[in-house]
Structure 1
Amino acid sequence: MTHPTSTRPLLGAALALATLAAVPAQAGVLSVFEANATSAADLQSTVDDFRTALGPLNAPAPVSGDPAGRREINWDGAPDSVSDPNAFPGDFFNQGFAPLARGIEFKEAGATTGFELSSTAASGETIEFGFPGGFTFFSPERLFTPIGDTLFDVFFFDPVDQVTTALTRGLGVVFTDVENTGSASMSFYDIDDTLLYTRDVLAGANASLSFLGVIFDDAEVARVRIDAGIVGFDSIVMDDFIYGEPIAVADVPLPLPAALLGAGLLGLGTLRRRKRG
């Protein structure tokens, strides 16, 4: 976050960008939703388009939701006990009871040592992580950040049992105060930890809001690495996380070529057994 006295050119502050990539840059990516705006109202339509594309909102309960649906985190209902100055547990939203059964965990990467939520004004604690203002909220009034570094990973789990690895069709995140191109990014990996897609978050004016959401053809994302966080007075923090229903790996259908290969190998095994008989 840049100090409020930033002298960023006014032209940049006036820009509001929103795009939908109809032709993805890599195979498997169905669509990319991205925008930068100076207010939550101006960002809202892009976020809502992403929500609609992912499907209806599933209940935050330990049940298998609509596989064509989505889950969300806006942080605002979290208690003061897990917000600044206290640490935020990375598995807070991967519990076996509502409303914390959301099948998502945040884990440290790089030199990150943990996570933190900003305090509310009513808590009596210093808000916005102690900075003198400058972050913009999408859904007031808590924000999220890693501590110690800007790298962390997002993993998905079966909301029913919380320990089974799950896959999702996509993830979208609201960022605040992305001022420089390349200063924040999201990288998507499959169950084999193969990079599927990576993209920088759109930059804009001081304290502006940015959104980046990526949807894949199928539920194939097991991990998303995000590069954003607090580093001195040029920091980027996050608001809402929106993602496709986490589906247990065992319940994810094989892609057609793999399914056909499996069927072929099974048939070959049957033929060999018959010859031996």
Structure 2
Amino acid sequence: MDRSEAMLPRAAARPEGNENARCSVLLGIRGHDAAFKNASTARSRTSTGHPIEVTFFTLPPPAVSHFSVHCPDLQLPPADLYLAPKAIAAADDLVLLRVPINSLGRDFYQHNDYFVYRAHHQDDPKLDLLPNPWPDRFGDDEIGVLSCGAAAADGGKQYAVAALKIRPISEFTFTLHLYRSKPSGEAGSWTSQLVSVEEPLRDRLVMYHLTTKVITIGGANGTVAWVDLWRGILLCDVLEKSPKLLDLPLPWPARGNWGIYLSDSESFCRDITVSQSKDLIKYNGNHALSHP
């Protein structure tokens, strides 16, 4: 979700006075500090015990919706974009938020809190503080959220948060980190296990996988896709007892794009999307024209 906008399926909120819930919205991924409240406002506490509120303000696409995070006790510099709360993943009516809790959160993930916002809770929207995964650290492009299981005792859906990290000095062995909420509605815990690509494909040129985005496909087995836009897609059924990775290579770049191949400009010329029914993965490529 390292984009200025992101798809948020099944609207997390509706503006007051509008009874028509939106199927989806475009969400700006950076939050701002504001004390406004509406029907979408959910409350919780940070890991340091401070009260915190999250509110969504939705607009019909193509207008960009936005969200606010209000926690006066944090007192972070409002002009520092890297200390702004960030929506790093979304699926169904779930949004995963990363909130810096002090100025060190700008550079160190252990100084951030992770929250899951649940829009369609039984009564009011709910904001769950996740246990800090430290000493494990996840980049914002390595982590996803998905619905799973039956309804929890508190009336909301159960969910999982998954992150895939490549192991040091390893080409295609990874650690899968998984957090699962509990049916009781209480906080869950993080687990980790090694997963590998049994038959990595097309690895003669690109000998590593660098995740640039995560796509939640879902289903009974909790399929999640970690996408390297230059190399390919690693699919994993994260809810399986012994999950494995399936490698799905992407097409080679067109001749006109070889000059930027393996650079950090992949999002300018290619992307991956999944249909709202989650039954189709689509590759989109823009090709520069080359002249003889």
Q: Same fold (TM over 0.5)?
A: no
User: Which structure has the larger Rg?
Assistant: 1
Which structure shows the bigger proportion of residues in helix conformation? Answer: 1
If the length of structure 1 is used for normalisation, what is the TM-score?
Answer: 0.27
Higher strand share: 2
